[in-house]
Chains A and B, each alone.
Chain A
């Protein structure tokens, strides 16, 4: 009888501990979402623009924000690095975009793809969409592996190649990625500006329909698949991913402590091979693997 009581008590205690652990993990995850929210608000602090249908024209727009945040978003107080890069290489004064390249190198060297996990507005929106309770889709590994290269192709062709080599009679090229692919500009800028600005609304045409279709596709796929835009399309993620191996913000697996239970890899929604390549170009430093590890073998690198 006494033994039964003790067992029940122990069971209750274990359940309580597991509940507390879940709450603690939830709080840590929420802390990341709080940072994402703060970064989004900070980069889009011109709240007045949302109801006036205009954009911020202050000097802060000469500074690039780290994440994909359209500078035509009414709230944006900084410049989008991909938009600025294309504008520079497609303009009639084509030259090496030292300033933007340096900014991208700086963010990459310090944070790597932690920018995607913590500071990118479009990444945050995808995180929130994935929280909608629906059956989720796992992309077959072979298809996933091939699709991961797509963002590098988009970077090379649509962000650099086409704007650089195709131009009109005045020597000005199109921002191909922003114009034909990027759904962030449609969501953050297009929707708000056309809603609030009559003159812009009257200019809507086929391109806007195409971009709304892409936005719709991105939203639906983000509900079903974790961060599809970041995994397969985003050229900014492709750039920052190159720095993941040596950025200051890195993860490390303590091989002597690891028990190879595989919980970290199961938990990773970006499908990073945590045990063999934790600093892979796909890791957005969300910390899910760290929280899943039962022996605390995964941590941020000390130096």
Chain B
């Protein structure tokens, strides 16, 4: 019973993850991630 419940939660989370990724792709969010990641992040490396 407990295992079934865990399995169900697992599947729901996985489905939610895929839905969120799809929604993000639809809103072109990977491009926003790319735009940030291809430039040196001065804050991240401690410059300012």
Binding site for B on A (CB under 8 A): 55-57, 59, 61-64, 70-72, 76, 78-80, 83-84, 87-88, 91, 93, 95, 97-103, 105-106, 108-110, 174-175, 178-179, 182, 185-186, 189-190, 193-194, 200, 203-205, 207-208, 210-212, 243, 245-248, 303
Contact = CB atoms under 8 A, between A and B. Distances in A.
- Tell me the interface secondary structure of chain B in the complex: helix
Contact of B23 (A102, A179, A243): A102
B34 interface: yes
A128 B20 CA distance: 36
A98 to B, nearest CB: 4
3 residue pairs, one from A and one from B, having the closest CB atoms: A99-B24, A102-B20, A211-B46
Nearest to A70: B44
Nearest to A247: B10
Nearest to A99: B24
B7 to A, nearest CB: 7
A207 B17 CA distance: 36
Residue among B16, B29, B30, B46 with the highest chain A CB neighbour number at 10 A: B46
Contact of B44 (A100, A189, A200, A210): A189
A70 B39 CA distance: 12
Contacts of B32: 87-88, 91, 93
A63 B24 CA distance: 12
B47 A99 contact: no
Given A72-B40, A84-B36, A200-B40, A62 B17 contact: no
